[in-house]
Amino acid sequence: MDKLEPTAEERRRYYRISPQAEVTCRIEGMEVVHLVGLGANGAGMRLITDKELPSEASFPVILATGAGPTLTLKGRVAWRDTWDFDFCSRHVAGIEFVDLGAEERGHLTGLLPPPEARSEAPLTP
């Protein structure tokens, strides 16, 4: 199993989504187990899935945001890792959004708590 290690430029801070935000994520062909956090600038996210995401091609990411709009974004893997447990494997990845518009970026950053209330997403299980 290959492992894409993040470079210094790819390593971003991911923050937990505001507790008031109702966000679900779908990627065709797999279960998104947990949306860990969003990048501070809205350009990406960190998530855990039941299958490995493709490392070469971009793919659609659908984010339903409660009372807000459902966003269909194009994502690409910036880095990924696999956590092996006795009973299953989980795949953790940093996703970069491709061709993200200003309105979409603004909506994504609006899902985060204000900067003074943000907590970083953990890096280990």
Question: Are 82 and 1 spatial neighbours (Cβ–Cβ below 8 Å)?
Answer: yes
| Tens digit of each residue's pLDDT (9 = 90 or more) over 46-83 | 999 999 998 888 999 999 987 788 999 999 999 888 88
Domain boundaries, the chain: 14-113
- At 90, list the tokens: 């989980």
**Which one-letter DSSP state was computed for residue 87?**
S
Which of 2.40.10, 3.40.50, 3.30.460, 2.60.40 would CATH assign to domain 14-113?
2.40.10
Q: What is the pTM of this model?
A: 0.78
